Structure 1
Amino acid sequence: MSEWPPPPLSTIVPIEKGPFPLDYSHRIFHMGSCFSQSIGSRLIADQFQVVSSPFGIVYDPTAMADQLDRIMSDQWYTLDDLVHDGHLYHSLDHHSTYSGGDAGPVLERINQSLQSCRDALPQCRLMILTFANTRSFQHRATGRRAANCHQLPSSEWTVEEMGLKALTDRYVPLITNMQARFPSLHMMVTISPVRYLYGGMQQNNRSKARLHLLAETLEPLNVWTFPAFEILMDELRDYRYYDRDLVHPSALAVDIIYQRWLESILTLPAKELLQQVRSIHRDLNHRLRFPETAQARAFRDTTMKKIETLRNEHPAFPWLFSDVIPPTEPT
């Protein structure tokens, strides 16, 4: 007779409760790789207050550290900070979504995003940093480290794998400085579960190992490490949880990791509010077969009333579904 109850189908990664309670009154800053963007988009959908990095996606932790230094400085971007490839102006610190054919609008977008982040960061309760790999690019012509190569020729770059000591020497004083400047800001790091195969599987594993050791080094500084990497590698551990390229986690895998994180850090009232938010989202996303019927109009009216009721019950959170019903101005 086979064993009953059957053994678990996977190794469950234990997750300790987060070292601080998070609720809807707290702002969340996130920065890092495409995995960070996936988590950020889910937080936004769940109506949390999210401050995204003003630089866009970044994979190299040392470039991320440079970006954090720039946020905390009083320096703005000027024409000297841009490179021109013959067609477009680029910032080596920024994702290509900021690039453009005219330097003026490029700098305006960059500095507006930077100002918005500087204004919002002091009100943030949690900072999430997602480390992707240890590969660092230095632009030969300017001597500057780049967060994005903008498909410039490989001959323009010096590529280096950052060692643990260099990463530690960069991050320990940075984290210490940030904690002194923003004493109410809690910090969390994750290692992106996305595999980067530019140097083969072994190189990816060595890179991830250095990032895990960096996270361990930062933990005594009250930096919490959430095991997103372990959940995908050890708990899910099946290609059904990967995207078509077989290196990125699927949407289902990201959903699972995101939900495990929420369960570890949210307060009970926040979890209850989250369920209401998701119920309304399901109503908003419901496809009506006959949208012009009285029944469909009644369904939409009921959904709008649910939003109004939710906001009346939580007047401290006026941003809830503000993209659906703009908040009323106080009289």
Structure 2
Amino acid sequence: MKFFSEVNLPTSNYKLDYSSQILLLGSCFATHIHDQLSYYQFQAKANPFGVLFHPKAILKTIELAAGYRQDFELIEHDGLHHSFLAHSSLSASTQDEVIHQLETSTEVLRQALQHSTLIFISLGTAWYYSRQINSAFVANCHKIPSKEFAKHLSSVAELKQDLTKIVRLVNKLNPESKLVFTVSPVKHLKDGLVENSRSKAHLIAAVHEFIDESEHDLMYFPSYELLVDELRDYRFYKPDLAHPSLSAVKFIWEKFKSVYIDQSTLEVMNQVEAIQKGLHHKAFNPQSEAHQKFMANLEVKISQLKQKFPHMNFINS
């Protein structure tokens, strides 16, 4: 007897290896996957403009990187300078500092888009805010009073337009890159559960219609479905009941590996994991001869891997 339904995973001829350049954009779920890739020493970058939830927010930063947009849309509030195009992690106490960070992020994103072999885009919500004063879209409200914004739900057609522009720009910058879209399983409880469901439904419909109609070789990875339909239970969420727990992230990561990573790369990942566990092992007696031999052996393994993969950078190595 089966007690749960399994999500059918996609097949992919494209596989990641340690020469791959990986860019992850979008919601905080992209950060979760980036953390796993970084742990295993892949060459990965995530969200130069911070976490962004709506496809249009992702699009606007790509437009900056592609040179199609010059205005950072700055505003000062409560002693800090912010950009309506970026996450508050890029905010600063002076306008010059925030502009410097935004210019740096623009260049980092431009380089990553031009050189990435895989671009993973996690879509978080179809809800967005616009400024009351000029109806301009904002990626982040930066805790500015809500009366200054209007809330909207993007239609499936509007979302498809954003996705079309994203893919067009990415292909102009880097026609060889592979794109993987996913819908984040993180629940936006502040919107309300009904509103969250409406949002996710719009995203899922939009991304599937877009991929089905696109002439480009695009992929969909079912992160949302793996948590909501396969794991299902609240024990797979953090105490906030919105974000996936570590065990849920690990479960989805294992599914990601099964689709996008081949056996030879998995063997190297096993070596990396053994080193990571060794480096983070807390010795009962760090000065003992046994532990010193253990650490010396670990250094040899690190050196051997670095000879093959110079980009690897282990903590304590």
Q: Same fold (TM over 0.5)?
A: yes
Aligned to 2:25: 31
Match status 1:210 vs 2:186: no
Q: Which residue of structure 1 lines up, in the alignment, with residue 136 of structure 2?
A: 144
Q: Which moved more, 1:142-151 or 1:202-211?
A: 142-151
Partner of 1:299: 294
State how many pairs are aligned. Answer: 314
3-state SS of 1:137 partner? strand
Q: Which amino acid aligns with 1:46?
A: Y
Is contact 2:66-2:169 (8 Å) kept?
no
Conserved? CA contact 1:32–1:58, under 8 Å = yes
Q: Displacement of 1:19 after TM fit?
A: 3.9
Judge conservation of contact 1:22–1:266 (CA < 8 Å) in 2. yes
In structure 2, what is the equivalent of residue 249 of structure 1?
244
In structure 2, distance between residues paired with 1:86 and 1:200: 28
Q: Structure 1 CA distance, aligned partners of 2:95 and 2:161?
A: 35
Deviation of the 1:16 alpha carbon: 2.4
Per-residue deviation, residues 64-111 of structure 1 (Å, max 9, x unmatched): 222222221265556xx3100141100111111111111111111221
Residues 94-173 of structure 1: pairs in structure 2 closer than 5 A: 94-173=86-165
> Which of 32, 37, 52 pairs up with 1:58?
52
Counterpart CA distance in 2 for 1:239 and 1:203 is 19
Partners of 1:239 and 1:322 in 2: how far apart? 35
Conservation of the 8 A alpha-carbon contact between 1:188 and 1:223: yes
Query: What residue ranges of structure 2 are gaps of 5+ in the alignment?
Result: none
For 1:114 and 1:181, how far apart are their aligned partners in 2?
14
Query: Which secondary structure does the structure 2 equivalent of 1:245 belong to?
Result: coil
Deviation at 1:186, TM superposition (A): 0.5
Q: CA deviation at 1:138?
A: 0.9
In structure 2, which of residues 263, 274, 287 is the aligned counterpart of residue 268 of structure 1? 263
Counterpart pick for 1:290 among 266, 285, 294: 285
Aligned counterparts of 2:315 and 2:114: Cα–Cα separation in 1: 24
Q: Is the 8 A contact 2:123 2:183 kept in 1?
A: yes
Output the CA distance in 2 between the equivalents of 1:16 and 1:94.
32
Distance in 2 (CA, whole Å) between partners of 1:110 and 1:290 is: 47
- Aligned-pair CA distance for 1:324: 4.2
Identical-pair percentage: 28
Q: In 2, distance between residues paired with 1:162 and 1:301?
A: 57
1:228 alignment counterpart: 223
- Alignment RMSD (CA, Å): 1.7
Note if contact 1:56-1:95 (Cα within 8 Å) is conserved in structure 2: yes
3-state SS of the aligned residue for 2:31? helix
In 1, the alpha carbon distance for the partners of 2:41 and 2:142 equals: 32
CA positional deviation for 1:321:
2.5
Q: Where in structure 1 are there 5+ consecutive unaligned residues?
A: 1-6, 326-331
C-alpha contact 2:180 2:221 (8 A) present in aligned 1: yes
Question: In the aligned structure 2, how far is the partner of 1:269 from the partner of 1:52?
Answer: 25
Is the counterpart of residue 68 in structure 1 residue 65 in structure 2?
no
Cα distance in 2 for residues equivalent to 1:284 and 1:8: 40
Q: Is the 8 A contact 1:33 1:131 kept in 2?
A: yes
CA deviation vs aligned residue, 1:18-71 (integer Å, no higher than 9, x gap): 241221101111111111111111111110111222210011122222222222
Q: What's 1:279 paired with?
A: 274
Task: Say whether the 8 Å CA contact 1:77–1:107 is kept in structure 2.
Answer: no
Asked whether 1:16 is paired with 2:48, we answer no
CA 1:149–1:19: 2 relative to 1, 3 Å: farther
Q: Quote the Cα distance in structure 2 between the aligned partners of 1:56 and 1:104.
A: 19
Per-residue CA deviation, residues 99-154 of structure 1 (Å, 9 max, x unaligned), is 11111111112211211221232110111111111111112335431111110000
The residue aligned with 2:38 is 44
Provide the residue aligned with 1:89 in structure 2: 81
Determine if contact 1:19/1:224 at 8 Å carries over to the other structure: no
User: Is the Cα contact below 8 Å between 1:307 and 1:321 reproduced in 2?
Assistant: no
The aligned counterpart of 2:305 is 310
